[in-house]
Amino acid sequence: MQKAILFDLDGTLTDSGEGIINSVIPALEHYGIAIPSREELRVFVGPPLHDTFLRFGVPADQLENATKIYRSRYIPIGKFENAPYPGIPELLETLKAQGHKLFVATSKPEPMAVEILEHFDLARYFDRICGASMDTSRSSKEAVIAYLLEQNGSAENMVMVGDTKYDVIGAKAHGIPTIGVSWGYGEIDEMLEAGAAAIAQTTQELLELLQKESL
């Protein structure tokens, strides 16, 4: 049975943590915030930046400026401190050959997502790449998926693939089941608690789950 498969980007298709973390640090330093360990900063990978900056002590009225500082490093340098996870190009090739419709649904601003996927020669596998707007009008995973559905129509026979609870929650709001992946930046327990239908430990296991008629 052919499916419409929505993929998260950061932590699911590509390991983008290095560039994101390296670009977050100057923004936190600007506000005199003590820099946590890189392990603690992993939570910046996936959710909207404004939400995570707020958690780390950036004042609410400075979130836009913190994002500008972040992007001043991320856009020219950080977005390419990144690499597709092993097995991802082969997975996408197989799914496309089997006739599935593939989409990206990411909280990363859409122009950046397109540029990164083109850089790694992955954009060609996707029918549509949907991301956040450059402002905050469309930033949550729920909002990005709503935007995708406006263009693609029904959520019937759709499945989300992501690495955090935010992917699960955003897809669930539209009645879409999620397969969580273990190789990203989220917590497996959090994904299961949020309602993930299954967890894939490898790209081969993900392929097998996606080939099932129902989750």
CATH number of the domain within which 27 lies: 1.10.150.240
Rounded to the nearest integer, the mean pLDDT of the chain is 95
The tally of domains found in the chain comes to 2
Question: What was the pLDDT predicted at 135?
Answer: 84
CA dist 150 → 31, 104, 143, 205 (Å): 39, 14, 11, 31
Q: Note whether 170 and 183 are same-domain residues.
A: yes
β-pair partners for 179: 161, 198
Q: 116-149: per-residue pLDDT in tens?
A: 999 999 999 999 999 999 887 898 999 999 999 9
Taking only Cα atoms into account, the Rg of the chain, rounded to an integer number of angstroms, comes to 17
Which domain does 25 fall in, by range?
17-80
pTM above 0.75, yes or no: yes
Q: Note whether 21 and 11 are same-domain residues.
A: no
64-79 as b/e: b if 16+ CB within 10 A: eebbebbbebbeeebb
Which residue, among 10, 57, 20, has the nearest Cα to 35 in the 3D structure?
57
Which residue, among 118, 152, 117, 146, has the nearest Cα to 133 in the 3D structure?
146
Q: Note whether 199 and 112 are same-domain residues.
A: yes
User: For 43-53, what is the mean pLDDT?
Assistant: 91
Which residue, among 3, 2, 7, has the nearest Cα to 122 in the 3D structure?
7
Could you say which of 80, 105, 121 is where a domain stops? Answer: 80
22 vs 132: CA distance, rounded Å:
21
Question: What was the pLDDT predicted at 132?
Answer: 93
Side-chain-side CA neighbours of 95 within 13 Å: the count stands at 29
- Give the residue numbers annotated as catalytic, written as ranges: 8
Whether the CB-CB separation of 191 and 178 falls below 8 Å is answered with yes
- Under the banding of pLDDT at 50, 70 and 90, the label for residue 189 is very high
Weakest mean pLDDT among 72-76, 129-133, 210-214? 210-214
Whether the CB-CB separation of 173 and 142 falls below 8 Å is answered with yes
Could you say which of 35, 52, 80 is where a domain stops? Answer: 80
In a domain, 110, yes or no: yes
Which tokens sit at 171? 């897809």
Question: What was the pLDDT predicted at 134?
Answer: 86
User: For 98-113, what is the mean pLDDT?
Assistant: 95
User: For 197-201, what is the mean pLDDT?
Assistant: 98
Residue percentage of the chain with pLDDT more than 70: 100
Question: What was the pLDDT predicted at 212?
Answer: 87
pLDDT at 214 > cutoff 90: no
- Under the banding of pLDDT at 50, 70 and 90, the label for residue 152 is confident
Q: Note whether 89 and 46 are same-domain residues.
A: no
Q: Note whether 60 and 128 are same-domain residues.
A: no
Q: What is the separation of C-alpha 61 from the centre of its chain, rounded to a whole number of angstroms? A: 26
